[in-house]
């Protein structure tokens, strides 16, 4: 079997592949897109970093392709949907760059406290200027960490070693986990108002895009020092530039940018109190060796028909099982992402219940699909079927599995409930209906509904009173939002009622604000599946 190593990975990784019996390895670094199309015609696996684009056209030109291995975390350069459609496994290596990125973050933090790069530049220019490069200490200062995953946790350890007080904002981290890591949980506002230094460690999602914007800087301490080695776009660059000019931010360090490479005329390049690096987070010999060896081992396992690890588009099961489980995996992923979007931010328990014929299937795979769906908007690209349980564990979320023998109205039913530490919960259940095995939502927060589990949903809980359906329909219509389908439910007359609507387009922020501001509405949530 032929393996194309399209981008330069660790020589040890390449050597590992060459040592495996039956493998032919082709190294073709820096190939043009046209050359890649030619090379993939008879390959069974491709190893890439971030340079080579594995597009739908590349996948179509590779009829023998079984697996694409990404030496790194992000898979932005791989068309995962097209790969899934063609039955190609896409894998990443999410843990290899943890220490490298944490250490680079701390390097930026130190350079933000002591202007070493600026002082070094002045020395090389022949100057001896001690007065211009005075700094401050880390000791007894407060570091705010936004996102306490693998990398954020490593940064916290290093900050504690420097005698810093560590605040952590992570809406999905339960207090018990924060206590174990010896950090102080805080709201984002608390972190902004109390921190001398802030560093961000979250994936770039709809929720984290421009999380640190003009309003955030307005709340922050004067003289804040802020750093981003995670993803460009979490910190709004125009707001950062304005805050640096006003003196609200004393220093900044950036390894990632909204658009990469950073424009040559970017104002950030001209600011003396900003340290910039060209996306070097994983650029250490150890990290590159680690991800290179890891991706080589994972590719070899797949080609030998062994375990599938760190797949971003399928669970660790064999191809025959995928055929049977596919519709249930899709249903589970959708129920997981739906319950996450309507649940409280801090969930203590994710309770999954199986009824009927589902007992006969590999529920472990379905469980992992639910977990991955739940984490999709929280952890971004780094979560997959293999590491989802560990990510939940790091967040302090317990996963509880129940196989119920009680009677149900359905021959197979899957329920997912997110329970907060105070006992409040949100739940959804679903099943497969018709020969096409289309996923359907059949209950939501205990109320019966009949909703297609796809696309754009608007979920509204309200006091059961006259005029609510007309009010919602009129508001959506007046704002150009078409209703594809609507399901209604209620407990008893005058109590809680539920409206679930399949929409053709996303409602505007103004529409959502008006719905949430209606005194009769207790929940108004737009959800995408």
CATH number of 459's domain = 3.30.70.260
Point out the domain boundary residue: 453, 484, 501.
453
Same domain, 120 and 250: yes
pLDDT (tens digit per residue) in 236-252: 999 999 999 999 999 99
Point out the domain boundary residue: 435, 453, 471.
453
Confidence band, pLDDT 50/70/90 cuts, at residue 394: confident
Residue 324 has pLDDT above 90, yes or no: no
Closest to 305 (Cα-Cα) out of 45, 12, 10 = 45
Q: Which residues are catalytic?
A: 231, 260, 279
Question: What CATH number does residue 428 fall under?
Answer: 3.30.1330.90
Please tell me the least confidently modeled range out of 39-53, 323-337, 453-467.
323-337
Predicted pLDDT at 72: 87
For the chain, give the mean pLDDT: 92
Residue 109 has pLDDT above 70, yes or no: yes
Same domain, 257 and 108: yes
Residue 85 has pLDDT above 90, yes or no: no
Same domain, 329 and 448: yes
Predicted pLDDT at 321: 66
Same domain, 90 and 152: no
Percentage of the chain surpassing pLDDT 70? 97
Same domain, 468 and 448: no
Tell me which of 74 and 341 has the higher pLDDT: 341
Quote the domain boundaries for residue 69: 2-95+286-313
Token pair of 382 as six digits: 């780094």
Residue 57 lies in a domain: yes
Evaluated on CA atoms 363, 365, 369, 374, the torsion sign reads positive
The 3-state DSSP class for residue 247 equals: coil
Same domain, 394 and 434: yes
CA–CA distances in Å: residue 252 to residues 105, 107, 269: 11, 12, 12
Between β-strands 347-356 and 412-420, what pairing exists: parallel, antiparallel or unpaired?
antiparallel
Residue 156 near residue 185 (C-beta atoms within 8 A)? no
Does the model's pTM come out above 0.75? Answer: no
DSSP symbol at 32? -
Same domain, 236 and 145: yes
Point out the domain boundary residue: 429, 453, 477.
453
Residue 56 has pLDDT above 60, yes or no: yes
Backbone angles phi, psi at 132, to 5 degrees: -80, -10
Same domain, 90 and 149: no
Residue 281 lies in a domain: no
Same domain, 89 and 57: yes
Same domain, 253 and 371: no
Rg (CA), the chain: 25
Predicted pLDDT at 322: 63
Q: Number of folded domains in the chain?
A: 4
Same domain, 487 and 422: no
Question: What CATH number does residue 120 fall under?
Answer: 3.40.50.720
Measure the CA–CA gap between 134 and 130, rounded to whole angstroms: 7
Same domain, 73 and 167: no
CA–CA distances in Å: residue 320 to residues 90, 108, 325, 367: 18, 49, 9, 18
Predicted pLDDT at 57: 97
Residue 461 lies in a domain: yes
Residue 9 lies in a domain: yes
């Amino acid at each position: 079997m032929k393996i194309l190593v399209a981008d330069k990975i660790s020589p040890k990784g390449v050597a590992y592949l060459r040592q495996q019996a039956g493998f032919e390895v082709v190294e073709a670094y820096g190939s043009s897109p046209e050359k890649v199309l030619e090379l993939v015609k008879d390959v069974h696996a491709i190893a890439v970093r971030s340079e080579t684009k594995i597009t739908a056209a590349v996948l179509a030109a590779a009829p023998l392709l079984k697996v694409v291995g990404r030496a790194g975390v992000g898979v932005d350069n791989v068309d995962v949907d097209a790969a899934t459609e063609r039955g190609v496994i896409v894998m990443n290596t999410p843990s290899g760059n943890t220490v490298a990125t944490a250490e680079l973050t701390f390097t930026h933090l130190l350079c933000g406290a002591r202007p070493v790069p600026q002082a070094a530049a002045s020395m090389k220019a022949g100057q001896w200027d001690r007065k211009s490069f005075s700094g401050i200490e880390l000791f007894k200062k407060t570091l705010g960490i936004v996102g306490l995953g693998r990398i954020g946790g490593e940064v916290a350890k290093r900050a504690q070693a420097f005698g810093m007080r560590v605040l952590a904002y992570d809406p999905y981290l339960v207090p018990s986990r924060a206590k174990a890591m010896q950090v102080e949980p805080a709201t984002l506002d608390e972190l902004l108002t109390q921190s001398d230094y802030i560093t961000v460690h979250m994936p770039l999602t709809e929720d984290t895009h421009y999380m640190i914007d003009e309003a955030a800087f307005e709340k922050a301490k004067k003289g804040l020092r802020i750093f981003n080695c995670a993803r460009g776009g979490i910190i709004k660059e125009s707001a950062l530039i304005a805050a640096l000019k006003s003196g609200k931010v004393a220093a900044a360090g950036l390894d990632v940018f909204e658009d990469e490479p950073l424009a040559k005329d970017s104002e950030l390049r001209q600011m003396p109190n900003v340290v910039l690096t060209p996306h070097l987070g994983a650029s250490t010999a150890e990290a590159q060796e680690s991800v290179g060896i890891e991706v080589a081992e994972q590719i070899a396992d797949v080609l030998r028909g062994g375990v599938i690890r760190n797949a971003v588009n399928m669970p660790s099961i064999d191809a025959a099982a995928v055929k049977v489980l596919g519709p249930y995996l899709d249903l589970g992923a959708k129920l997981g992402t739906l319950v996450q979007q309507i649940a409280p931010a801090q969930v203590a328990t994710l309770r999954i219940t199986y009824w009927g014929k589902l007992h006969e299937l590999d529920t472990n795979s379905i469980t992992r699909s639910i977990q991955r769906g739940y984490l999709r908007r929280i952890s971004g690209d780094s979560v997959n079927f293999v590491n989802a349980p560990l990510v939940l564990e790091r967040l302090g979320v317990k996963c509880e599995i129940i196989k119920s023998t009680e009677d149900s109205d359905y021959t197979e039913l899957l329920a997912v409930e997110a329970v907060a530490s105070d006992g409040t919960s949100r739940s959804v259940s679903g099943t497969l209906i018709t020969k096409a095995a289309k996923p359907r939502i059949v209950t939501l927060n205990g109320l019966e509904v009949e909703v297609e589990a796809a696309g754009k949903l608007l979920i509204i809980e309200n006091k059961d009173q006259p005029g609510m359906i007309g009010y919602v329909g009129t508001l959506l219509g007046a704002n150009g939002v078409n209703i594809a389908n609507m399901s209604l439910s209620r407990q008893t007359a005058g109590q809680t009622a539920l409206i679930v609507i399949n929409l053709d387009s996303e409602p505007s922020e103004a529409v959502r604000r008006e719905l949430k501001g209606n005194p009769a509405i207790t929940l108004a949530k737009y959800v995408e599946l």
